[in-house]
Structure 1
Amino acid sequence: MVAVSVKGSTDAVWMAYARIMIRSSNLVAGLPGICLVLAVLMGCEPSYAPRQVIDLRPRTLEIDNHHGGTRRISIHHDGQWYQTFGPSIEVIDPEDGLRIAKIDHKPWGEIGPISDMIVTEDSEPELVVVHAGDRLVRYQLTNPRRPLLVEEIDAETLGIEPYLLSQDGGRVWASGRGGAVRIDRPGITLLSDEGEGAVVGRVVASGDGLAASVGRRILSVDDGRYLGAASELHSLPSELASEIELPGGVVFILRGNEASTVGIMGGDFRERDNKVFPVPIFAARVLDGRLWAVMPEEIVTWPIEGGGRLGAPVFIPIKGARDIAMLRENYYAVGGTFGRAIYRLMADGQGDADTFFAVERNPGRVTMAVGDGRRVLAGSEEGSWLYKIGGSVELSDRALRNNAGQVDELTLSWCDASIEEDGAILRVEPIEGETFEWSPPREGLVYTLEVAGEYLFVGHDDGLECFGYRDGGVIRIGGVWMEGPVAWLFRPRVGDDVAFVSAFGGLGTVKVVADPDSDSTLIREVRRDEAQKVESQMRRDAGMPPMR
C-alpha cells in the first residue's frame, strides 16, 4: 500500500492507489479524477451513453484460403512444362519438377477452370487456353518461362461456349456447346445446328475435309454429313502418319456407358486397330511414336506400327492421372487429380524403369467428406486429406468410412430455403417479401446448403453462391467459381466462416465481409438513442430504400 499525504489539512488522508501527491491547491481541480478512481476502486462503473455502429456497407464473399484442384492438361514446349491447375497455368522445370512460375488470368474464384490448352504451330508460337464454357485466352511465348497476355475472347464474342482447342494447317479452332469456330474469325460458327446442348469436339483434317465429333458421331464440319463414330479425335503427327503409311490418320476415343474404345483410324475414318476397356478413357496422346491412353487407375501405351496397328502394350499403374506429355526421350509429365509427377519409362543411367519422381500431391478428386467443426476429412480411393478449417491441409492415413449427407432444406431467421426439382432450382421463401428462385449457370445443379450468421451458402456444379436479406428482398452476396461440383459445406464451431469441399476443385474456406471498396460514409458509430434517426439520414444520403 502506498501512502499519499494531502498537505494543508489538519488530518492526513490515506489512500491505497498509485503514488501521487495531491496538494490542497489542486484538490478542487482534481475532484473529477479522484471520483473516477474511487468509483473504480469501489467496483462501480462510470455512466456513459451507449454507442451503436451503423454499417450500411454492402457485403461480399471473401476466400480465406484454398487448397488443391485438378491438373487436366500437360504440354511440353521449348524446354518448358506447361501444366494447367484449375484456372491457373504452372510453368515447371522439366528436369526437377519445380515450379518456375504460376500464371493467373484472374484471381482464383473469379474465373472457371481451364479445360484445354495448346501451343500453336506458328513461326511465333502462342499458348492458347480455354476457361471452360467462358472464354479463350492467348499468351505470347517470346519468353517461354513468362507467358504474356495477348488477348481474351469471351464466349459471347466467339459465338459458342468453348471447351476444346485444336489446330490444322496453322488455323486454331475452339469448339464446345453451340458449334466450332476459328479463333481468328469469332462469331462465324460451324456445326451450330446439332441440337440444343450439343457439344462439338476437336476439329481434325480428313481425306474428305475437316471433321469433328458431336456426341458419338463424326460429322463433316462443312455440311454436317455423317462420317463415322467417335467421341474424340486427334490428328496423328504428319511425320508419323507418313512413316506408318497412314496419311490423314487420327487417334480416336469412343465412349460408352459401360466401356470405352481407343485406337487408330485412317483418313477415311475406318478403324485400323482398337482396344476396349471397361472404364472411362480420359485422354489419348501420341508421344514418341506410341499411343498413350489415360484411365482412372492406369496409363496404357502401345507402339504404333505400320498401317496403324498397335503393338505390345505396357501397363503403368497410377490412380488419378488425367493427361501425359513427353518432356524428353524416356521421360514424361503426368498430371491429374493426384497432383503431378515425372515418369521414367525405361531404366537408364538416372534410375530404374517404371518410376514416378518429383511428385507433388494435392487434394483433387473427392468422393467422401466428413467434418467435426474444426477439421474436414475428405478424399477418395486416391487418398485422404485432413483439412484444418481455415488453415493447412495434409495427406492422412485415416480411412474414410462415413460420408456427410447433402443438406437440401434449411431455416434461417429470415427465410426457409430448399433445393427443388432434383437440384435444378434453389427456392428461398422469406418471411417478408417475394419468393426467390435461382438456378446455376449452364443447366447445372444445386447440391447442398449451409448457413453461417444470417447468410445462406449454396454448393453447385460451378462453385458456390451466397445469399442474404436486405431492404425486404433476397440479395446475392457473392460467389466463388471453381471446378465442381461443390457437394459439401461445413460450418466451423467458432466463427461464421464456411468450409467447402469440391469433387474436383479442392477445398477451402470462405466468409462474408464488408466490401472494402465501399463508401466509408456508410459506416458510423453513434449514440444508441440517435441510431434510428442517423440511419434514416444515411440511407437518404446514399439513395437507399428507407428503413423497414
Structure 2
Amino acid sequence: MNYEVKQRPRPSTNHLELRHQVLGTAHATVFDEETWYVLQGCSLLILDPATGRVINQLNLDDAGGSGPAVDPLVEPGVIHVVLKDTDVVVLDRTDPLRPFIERRTTAAELGIQPRALNRGRVGPIVSGIGGAVQLPHGHRLIDHEGEVTSVIDNDQVSIYTMGRRVYRQGNDEYVGSATRLAQLPESDEQTGPSPAGIVLPEGSMFFIRNESTGGLAGFACMQGGLLREVDSTRTTEAFRGGVRQLRMRGDRVLIAGSRSVHLYRLSSSGELIDLWSQEIPGARSVDFIDDRDIVVVGEFGCIRYRTDRVSGNVVARQDAPGGLVQAISDGRRIMATGVDGTWEYQIGHEAELVEVPMQVYPPPARQAAVLGWKVKISSDGRHADIQNKIGSSLLPAPIGSRFITVASGDGTFWLGHENGVMMIKPPSNLPMIPVGWEELSPEEKSASGYSPLEGIQKLTIHIDGPVIFLQPLDLGGGVGYASGNGGFGVVREVF
C-alpha cells in the first residue's frame, strides 16, 4: 500500500494586528477642569497630576487601524481629537475622568486627511491635506491639494496657513508669512479676562514661523490688510530647532520649542519678560496647571514641572520610549536609543531605560531574501524591488510614506515604513514559466502576462512611525518592532 503525503496550502492571512504595544511619543496635552489629558499612540490618557500615573486610558480606535492621535480641542462637555490622516473623534466628557466616544468622522467623509483642529466662530474647524472643513456639518471652507496647517476664523479676519505662507479665505490672497497661527484665549475661569486685549492690538493672535534651523514665535495682527508681527523686538522670541506650541494663561505665555520650554510674562507695556526656562529635547506640547506648575509632553513621555524652581523642579514624570533613532536585537529583546538614553524591550513584555554605554548600531537592513524571493528597498525608500524566478517588479511604498527597513521570516517579508508595517507573503508556488523564458527580453517578458507579484498577499497596519527596526519572531510568527514615535510592539498575522 502506498501513502502520499500532500503538502497543505499556505494559509491566507486575514489581517494584521498589534498583539503588544509600549506607547512612545506623547503628541499633545491639555489640562482642563483639574484633569490632565494626554494623546499617545491611538489613545487618550488621563494622568494623575500629582504622580503622573495613568488613571484611565481610552482607545480611540483599534490599535493599528488608524493614525496616531495628534491634536485635541477641548470645549465645554466635549473633546475633539484628530487621528492623523484618518479620523476626527468627538468624546463626551460630562464626567471629565471618564470620557467616551460619541461619534467619529472619517477622512473619506471629511474629504481631507485631518491633521489639526482650530477654533472657529461657529465651531471647530479641522484642517489638513486637502483643505479645511467646518464641524460638525462638514461644510468645506478651504479646498486645496496642499496641507492647510491652521485656520483663523473670527469676527475680525478669516485666514489660513499653508507651508510658510498665510492666505485670506475666499480669494486665497497672500497676506503674510507664518507656519501656524492660533487665536488668543478670550478669558479664563481662574484668571479672568486676558490682558492681551489691553496691551496688544485688537485682533492679535499667536504666530509660529519655523525654518530649517530654528523658529520664531510671538504675537501678530492684521495691519493694512497684511499679517505683521506686533513688535519684532518686544513680543517675538527666537528658538533653536523650531517652535511647537504656544499657550496663554492670564499674563503668562508658555512656549514649547523642540529643544526647550520657556515661560514669559506679558508686561503692561506689551513686552515678553523671560521668567523660567528648561532644556527639554523632544518637547511637543505644553499647558498650564496653575500660575506655578506646567505640564510638558513629547518624545520623553510626560512631565509636570514647578516653574518657581531652577533645580529639583520635576513634580511628576511618566517616561516613554519616544524619539527612537536606532535599534538592534538579539532575538529576545530590542535595544533602542531615544532622547533619554537606551531602552530595552523584552519582546512582548515591557520596556525600561537601562544604563549601558552609548554606541552606534548597524543601519537598518534594506534587503532580505527567502525561498527564492528577494526584496530590496530603493535608496529613496519610494519603492521596493521584488525579485523571483519570473523577474523583478517595483512595489510602491504606501501613499505619503517611504520604506525604511525590511526583514524576513517564516516565508514572509516585513517592511517598516514611515507610517507602519507592511507584510508581503509570497504564494506557495509560482506559476510554471515557459521554456526559453531566460532568453526573452524584458519587453517580451512584460508582454507575456507573467508578473513577479502574481499571487502575493499584501497587508499594512498603522503604527506611529517611522518604523526603524524589525525583528522576525520564531515562536508564533510575526515581527517585533521599534518605531521612532510608536515605541515598541509586536505585529502578528491573524488567519
TM-score normalised per structure 2: 0.85
Distance 2:270 2:166 in 1: 19
Q: Which residue of 2 aligns with 1:396?
A: 354
Relative to structure 1, the CA distance from residue 213 to residue 396 in structure 2 (aligned partners, 3 Å threshold; closer, same or farther) is: same
Distance 1:327 1:510 in 2: 38
**Structure 1 segments (4+ residues) deviating >6 Å:** 47-53
SS in 2 for 1:156: helix
Relative to structure 1, the CA distance from residue 55 to residue 167 in structure 2 (aligned partners, 3 Å threshold; closer, same or farther) is: same
Asked whether the 8 Å contact 2:261–2:277 carries over to 1, the reply is: yes
Q: Which residue of 2 aligns with 1:186?
A: 138
Summarize deviations over 1:18-51 as a string: whole Å, max 9, x none. xxxxxxxxxxxxxxxxxxxxxxxxxxxxx99797
Task: Count residues in correspondence.
Answer: 456
1:89 and 2:41 equivalent? no
Summarize deviations over 1:387-411 as a string: whole Å, max 9, x none. 1223331111113312231222222
Asked whether the 8 Å contact 1:287–1:325 carries over to 2, the reply is: no
Summarize deviations over 1:195-230 as a string: whole Å, max 9, x none. x4x211221246752111111111112221122111
Distance 2:84 2:488 in 1: 20
Relative to structure 1, the CA distance from residue 98 to residue 375 in structure 2 (aligned partners, 3 Å threshold; closer, same or farther) is: closer
Q: Which residue of 2 aligns with 1:409?
A: 367
Distance 2:379 2:479 in 1: 25
Relative to structure 1, the CA distance from residue 477 to residue 226 in structure 2 (aligned partners, 3 Å threshold; closer, same or farther) is: closer
SS in 2 for 1:470: coil
Asked whether the 8 Å contact 2:383–2:397 carries over to 1, the reply is: yes
Q: Which residue of 1 aligns with 2:85?
A: 133
Q: Which residue of 2 aligns with 1:236?
A: 184
Q: Which piece of structure 1 moves more, 125-134 or 475-484?
A: 475-484
Quick one: which amino acid aligns to residue 505 of structure 1?
Answer: G
Q: Which residue of 2 aligns with 1:204?
A: 152
1:369 and 2:327 equivalent? yes
Q: Which residue of 2 aligns with 1:19?
A: none
SS in 1 for 2:274: coil
Q: Which residue of 2 aligns with 1:224?
A: 172
Q: Which residue of 1 aligns with 2:345?
A: 387
Q: 1:310 aligns with which of 272, 277, 295?
A: 272
1:479 and 2:436 equivalent? no
Relative to structure 1, the CA distance from residue 206 to residue 107 in structure 2 (aligned partners, 3 Å threshold; closer, same or farther) is: closer
Quick one: which amino acid aligns to residue 508 of structure 1?
Answer: G
Asked whether the 8 Å contact 1:467–1:474 carries over to 2, the reply is: no
Quick one: which amino acid aligns to residue 374 of structure 2?
Answer: D
SS in 1 for 2:109: helix
Asked whether the 8 Å contact 1:378–1:400 carries over to 2, the reply is: no
Q: Which residue of 1 aligns with 2:239?
A: 277
Asked whether the 8 Å contact 2:51–2:316 carries over to 1, the reply is: yes
Q: Which residue of 2 aligns with 1:500?
A: 481
Q: Which residue of 2 aligns with 1:104?
A: 59
Summarize deviations over 1:472-523 as a string: whole Å, max 9, x none. 434335332111111211235767442211111111223335x2xxxxxxxx
Q: Which piece of structure 1 moves more, 318-327 or 499-508?
A: 318-327
Map 1:305-344 onto structure 2 (within 5 A).
305-306=267-268, 308-344=270-306
Quick one: which amino acid aligns to residue 168 of structure 2?
Answer: S
Higher strand share: 2
Asked whether the 8 Å contact 2:82–2:116 carries over to 1, the reply is: yes
Q: Which residue of 1 aligns with 2:12?
A: 58
Higher helix share: 1
Structure 1 stretches lacking a partner, 5+ long: 1-46, 516-548
Q: Which residue of 2 aligns with 1:145?
A: 97
Q: Which residue of 2 aligns with 1:173?
A: 125
Distance 1:99 1:387 in 2: 20
Distance 2:330 2:96 in 1: 45
Q: 2:377 aligns with which of 412, 415, 419?
A: 419
Q: Which residue of 2 aligns with 1:258?
A: 213
Summarize deviations over 1:48-85 as a string: whole Å, max 9, x none. 97977846642243433221311111112222111101
Distance 1:71 1:102 in 2: 13
User: What is the Cα deviation at residue 458 of structure 1?
Assistant: 0.3
Asked whether the 8 Å contact 2:240–2:257 carries over to 1, the reply is: no
User: What is the Cα deviation at residue 343 of structure 1?
Assistant: 1.3
Relative to structure 1, the CA distance from residue 389 to residue 476 in structure 2 (aligned partners, 3 Å threshold; closer, same or farther) is: same
User: What is the Cα deviation at residue 93 of structure 1?
Assistant: 2.8
Q: Which piece of structure 1 moves more, 361-370 or 95-104?
A: 95-104
Asked whether the 8 Å contact 2:25–2:486 carries over to 1, the reply is: yes
Asked whether the 8 Å contact 2:127–2:150 carries over to 1, the reply is: yes
Quick one: which amino acid aligns to residue 105 of structure 2?
Answer: I
Q: Which residue of 2 aligns with 1:41?
A: none
Distance 1:459 1:219 in 2: 37
Distance 1:458 1:133 in 2: 21
SS in 2 for 1:242: helix
Identical positions, percent: 24
